[in-house]
Chain A
Amino acid sequence: MQSIEDLAREITALDPSQQEALLDKVAQLNLQNGMHKLAEKYRARLAREGRLNVTQEKVWAELHRIREEIAIHDYPG
């Protein structure tokens, strides 16, 4: 594996537009990793609660219930 020093030299040798695209891609992958970690924790919790493998209909019913509950609270009438 390359050292950080070598990697940095390689990156600074790139065109500014390539550097920009690279940094953008790194940020995107970091965000993706963060989402994966969050998803894993969420799935683990749902599994512990016995709710991971509920039917899609049940998930929809809960989503609709929450949506209308908030909507009626925030915009009564």
Chain B
Amino acid sequence: MTTPVDRWLLDTNVWIFGLRRDPTLPTCTELLDRIGSFVVTIPLQVLKELNLNLTQHEMRELYQLLNSYPDFIEVSWESAPSERVRFFEERGCRKGDAIITAHAEMLGIKTIISENRQFLQTIEGLPLEVVNSAAALARLPLS
């Protein structure tokens, strides 16, 4: 297969607003539709959060998709190192956001896609960026 250019971590809110087809955040839906033109990584924290938002049956369906397209979607079952979680907390991230950031760092991901305004503002000066779904879409080639 042709290698997609970027590996992005989609925050849980992008998955949820995208699956809800939320009309106020259509770019989340569009981004889910464009998986494959970039590679998505799903870290443990996001998996756990999706697990609490979706039913067992819906999760099974999601896992089937994840397992069917390993070239497009990577799942990481590893925990983020606690010292790095603390590091990002000390730099202004809430604990949950610090875990996501530490996951991204551990997996060598440079870009987190999130609609969380606070998250978008707290990562300044760190070696990774948080952008919203509209900005992420603008980076993709026209389909």
| Residues of A that sit less than 8 Å from B by CB | 20-21, 23-24, 27-28, 30-32, 34-35, 37-39, 41-43, 45-46, 52, 56, 59-60, 62-64, 66-68, 70-72, 74-75
A24 touches B36 (CB 8 A): yes
Given A24-B1, A63-B13, A42 and B65 contact (CB-CB distance below 8 Å): no
Interface size counted on chain B using CB atoms at 8 A? 46
B1 touches A66 (CB 8 A): no
In the complex, what residue of chain A is closest to B102 when comparing beta carbons? A75
Give every chain A residue within 8 A of B18 (Cβ-Cβ): 39
> Which B residues between 49 and 92 are near A, CB-CB below 8 angstroms?
49, 52-55, 57-58, 61-62, 64-65, 68-69, 71-73, 79, 82, 85
18 of the cross-chain contacts (CB-CB < 8 Å) are A24-B1, A24-B36, A27-B36, A31-B36, A32-B33, A35-B32, A38-B19, A38-B58, A39-B19, A39-B20, A39-B21, A42-B19, A43-B19, A56-B24, A59-B22, A66-B52, A67-B45, A67-B49
Given A38-B19, A45-B58, A68 and B69 contact (CB-CB distance below 8 Å): no
Q: Chain B's nearest CB lies how many Å from the CB of A15?
A: 13
